[in-house]
Amino acid sequence: MTNEPPEGTRPLRVVVADDQAAVREPLAAVLDLTEDIDVVAAAADGSGVLDAVAAGPVDVVLMDLRMPVLDGIEATRRLSDAHPEVAVVVLTTFADDDSILAALGAGARGYLTKNAGRQDIVRAIRAAAAGQSVLDREVQDRLLATLRARPTASGQQLPADLTPREREVLTLIGQGLPNRAIAEKLFVSEATVKTHINNLFAKAGIRDRADAVRRAIAAGLA
């Protein structure tokens, strides 16, 4: 398993957002040294993020949550509405249930705490740009515990036309596995996993990864 970027790919255009210059500037500098990442802007608040994306093009925003003027949750929500092609990866010190659910509900594609190392952040940026979701282990465990503790909503039955493989993929998503781990477990490629997920989401009306986890738990698959 390699952390190197695929050959021949253009650099990913990234915006780093954090209200603390002591965090924002070194992080932007370190990421900019990565071969396939080009940090095109650094913003001190959500308003600056929106301006940077409008000036674009941008592929991924690395977003802090607690910022002045416009916080990371609202900035993520506005980006999801106006620029759904831009992936948001949250990087924050906060891993409480409310922050996690609010960020994922607003459309964030990844959620990392600031304990994450450079390689973890780079991996999450690449995954988000490829349409995958990445949650660090602490966040993933909290999300699963929170969803399992909630009462099952009615009307969450799975459609009858799901294939056995699609149910298997949903089960693994419900266990918190990322696409790469699912591919390794099923002995298929990540591209094949993405195809199964796209079909599964379309058939079941699943909105995103967090919704898939909820549906897996509600169906007794996780």
Name the packing angle between helices 209-218 and 164-174 (round to 10°): 100
In the predicted structure, residue 4 carries a pLDDT above the cut 60 = no
Sheet holding 110-113, edge to edge: 37-43, 12-17, 60-63, 87-92, 110-113, 134-135
Q: Is the peptide bond preceding residue 57 cis, with omega within 30 degrees of 0?
A: yes
Q: Where residue 2 falls among pLDDT bands split at 50, 70, 90?
A: very low
Neighbouring residues of 28: CB distance < 8 A, sequence distance ≥ 6: 16, 39, 42
Helices H, strands E: what count in the chain?
10, 6
For 55, phi and psi rounded to 5 degrees?
-75, -25
What tokens appear for 222 in the block?
């996780």
What span, in angstroms and rounded, lies between the C-alpha atoms of 87 and 106?
A: 12
Q: Which amino acid is at 171?
A: T
Higher confidence at residue 149 or residue 168?
168
- pLDDT of 94 reads 83
Q: Where residue 16 falls among pLDDT bands split at 50, 70, 90?
A: very high
For 150, phi and psi rounded to 5 degrees?
-85, 150
Say how many C-beta atoms besides its own lie within 10 A of residue 202's C-beta.
9
Mean pLDDT of the chain: 85
Give the three-state DSSP class for 24: helix
Query: Using one digit for the tens of pLDDT, what is the confidence trace for 101-120?
Result: 888 878 888 899 888 888 98
Tell me the torsion sign for CA atoms 56, 60, 71, 75.
positive
Q: Where residue 87 falls among pLDDT bands split at 50, 70, 90?
A: very high
Strand residue runs (E) in 64-207: 87-92, 110-113, 134-135
What span, in angstroms and rounded, lies between the C-alpha atoms of 141 and 139?
A: 5
Q: Where residue 53 falls among pLDDT bands split at 50, 70, 90?
A: very high
Tell me the torsion sign for CA atoms 93, 96, 97, 102.
negative
Q: Where residue 168 falls among pLDDT bands split at 50, 70, 90?
A: very high
Give the three-state DSSP class for 125: helix
Query: Using one digit for the tens of pLDDT, what is the confidence trace for 58-81?
Result: 999 999 999 999 999 999 999 988
Torsion of CA 32, 34, 36, 38, to 10 degrees: 0
Query: Using one digit for the tens of pLDDT, what is the confidence trace for 184-197?
Result: 999 999 899 999 99
